A = this chain, B = another copy of it.
Amino acid sequence: MEFQDVVRQRYAAKKFDGKSIPQEKMDELIELIRLTPSGLNLQPWKIKIVTDQKTKDELFPVTGEQPSVTSCSHLLVLCANTDFDDLVAKADKSMRDGGVPDEIRRHVIELASAHKEKSLEARLAYARNQVFISLGNALNGAKALGLDACPMTNFQPQEYSRILNIPAHIVPTVLVAVGYAADKPMPKRRLANEDIVF
């Protein structure tokens, strides 16, 4: 599917038909998310995938009772990973293994290492920004694969961490319910060009 059509046709499905997405389709979607670009290629994200109905039911009240949580096939919990020690070590290894010239590798690691010294709050803010790039690939990717998706930020992250047993350094940031829509898109409403280009 052409990217321009993906962008025009995707919408936030508010309700799904309950049908399960085949595993190989989900693998393709996760692959599109995995390929998302990020600052210094640090990829400070983690994904928890919820398919179990009992867990979805438990998450429903801490997600503003949004019906997409319980009716979707897969609920992706996109999380920020604040463990920059590990991320920088992995980036260094990946560049060594990938034959990136030493000069470039050292420069990237120098910039990346600055994050390690920052406060948890600053690391989290940085990682969260990157997670939102991956959100775009998740939403566009779902549509490109013939699926529908609904992004949600109206949820209680601490309750998610408790219910899903997520360690403290991984912070639930945005949800993507994925499945087959049981509703129809409304016409897209966007600010006019002159409202955003200045």
Contacts and interface: CB of A to CB of B under 8 A. Distances in A.
A141 B41 CA distance: 19
B151 A37 contact: yes
B46 A189 contact: no
Contacts of A11: 37
B34 A196 contact: yes
A160 interface: no
A24 interface: no
A109 interface: no
A189 B132 contact: no
Which of A47, A139, A140, A151 has the most chain B CB atoms closer than 10 A to its own CB? A140
Contact count band on A: 35 or more
Interface of A is mostly: helix
Nearest to A97: B189
A128 interface: yes
A32 B4 contact: yes
A95 B45 CA distance: 34
A100 interface: yes
A188 interface: yes
B151 A198 contact: no
A185 to B, nearest CB: 12
Given A136-B137, A140-B140, A35 B8 contact: yes
Contact of A191 (B49, B90, B141, B191): B90
B3 A35 contact: no
Contacts of A143: 3
Interface string A112-144: 000000000000010011101101110111011
Interface of A: 1-4, 6-8, 10-12, 28, 30-32, 34-37, 39, 41, 43, 45-49, 90, 94-95, 98, 100, 111, 125, 128-130, 132-133, 135-137, 139-141, 143-144, 151, 153-154, 170, 186-191, 193, 195-198
